[in-house]
Structures are given as structure tokens and as C-alpha cells.
């Protein structure tokens, strides 16, 4: 398929973008669904965006600001399965990477649900290597922490 470009990328601030971000997150991470209040909390701590194609929310991102020494930021790009393999994830990831670097990140990490083969493949193709796997209490599917090599 040919590469597509987003018509609009919107930071999560208003209710519509917040609900779109939540819907995408919960669909891609069904093992850890978030409430509206949880997303509002994340939006206060992190940089969250939603990407739209033909007025349809097709992907979202999270950039956790840098912490620690060296300053480590987390960049997470998500694209709904029916919109993958068309360059949208690349655009979301690049936008997040720019934000993380502008915030002073010296190290970039990401996290992917272990059952998300597309997400793991994408991360590895972009130079990320696995640093840890963990299972949240009461869950059975691991999260994979990755670091940009």
C-alpha cells in the first residue's frame, strides 16, 4: 500500500481527542484498559496526541518526558490494525521522537504489549532492543520495555 499522510494530529486537551486516544489505547492494549480519569491524568503528565485520517482517529502517541540520568523519555506510537503498514506509525513515531528530544531526552525507550507482533517488529526495525519483560498483577500478557540502541 502507498504511504498516507495524516490530515490532522491533535494534542489531547479537549474531550473528543481524549476519548479518541482512550479508544485507540484500549483497543491496542486490551489487557490494561484505561478510564477517562486515567487518560486525563496521563494527559497532565505526558504529551498525548491523536492522528486523524479522513476525520477518523487511526493512531495515537504517548511521550513520557525525560527523567533520570541520563535523561530517558518513553515514546509510544500506536496505530489501529486496519490502518497499519501504510507509513502512519512512522509519522506518529517521528513526531513523538521530536517531542522527546525537544524535552531534553538523551535516551529513548518504548513499551509494547508482547502479543502485539506488529508493534514489536516496528520497534526492532527502528533500532529498539528489549531490556525487560513484566506482567502486571492479575494479568497474563507481558509488556516489553525496549531501548533505542
127 within a domain of the structure (yes/no) = no
pLDDT score of 54: 85
Q: How many CB atoms lie within 10 A of CB 118?
A: 14
63 within a domain of the structure (yes/no) = yes
What backbone torsions phi and psi does residue 46 show, to the nearest 5 degrees? -125, 170
The grid cell for 61 is 502517541
pLDDT digits (tens, 9 = 90+) for 31-40: 989 999 999 9
CATH of the domain at 96: 3.40.630.30
31 within a domain of the structure (yes/no) = yes
DSSP 3-state assignment of 49? strand
144 closest CA partner among 22, 31, 27, 23 = 31
Half-sphere exposure of 78 (CA within 13 A, CB side): 25
146 within a domain of the structure (yes/no) = no
pLDDT score of 90: 94
pLDDT digits (tens, 9 = 90+) for 88-127: 999 999 999 999 999 999 999 999 999 999 999 999 999 9
pLDDT score of 3: 58
123 within a domain of the structure (yes/no) = no
Percent of the chain topping pLDDT 70: 95
140 within a domain of the structure (yes/no) = no
Show the domain range for 70.
Answer: 8-108
In the chain, the number of structural domains is: 1
pLDDT score of 13: 85
Q: Is the full-model pTM beyond 0.75?
A: yes
* pLDDT above 90 (res 9): no
Amino acid at each position: 500500500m502507498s504511504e498516507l499522510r495524516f490530515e490532522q494530529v491533535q494534542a489531547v486537551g479537549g474531550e473528543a481527542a481524549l476519548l479518541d486516544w482512550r479508544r485507540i489505547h484500549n483497543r491496542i492494549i486490551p489487557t490494561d484498559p484505561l478510564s477517562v480519569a486515567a487518560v486525563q491524568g496521563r494527559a497532565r503528565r505526558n504529551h498525548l496526541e491523536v492522528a486523524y485520517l479522513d476525520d477518523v482517529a487511526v493512531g495515537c502517541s504517548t511521550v513520557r518526558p525525560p527523567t533520570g540520568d541520563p535523561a530517558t523519555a518513553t515514546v509510544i506510537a500506536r496505530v489501529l490494525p486496519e490502518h497499519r503498514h501504510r507509513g502512519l506509525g512512522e509519522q506518529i513515531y517521528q513526531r513523538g521522537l521530536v517531542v522527546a528530544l525537544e524535552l531534553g531526552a538523551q535516551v529513548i525507550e518504548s513499551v509494547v504489549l508482547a502479543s502485539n507482533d506488529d508493534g514489536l517488529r516496528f520497534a526492532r526495525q527502528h533500532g529498539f532492543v528489549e531490556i525487560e519483560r513484566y506482567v502486571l498483577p492479575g494479568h497474563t500478557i507481558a509488556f516489553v520495555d525496549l531501548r533505542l540502541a
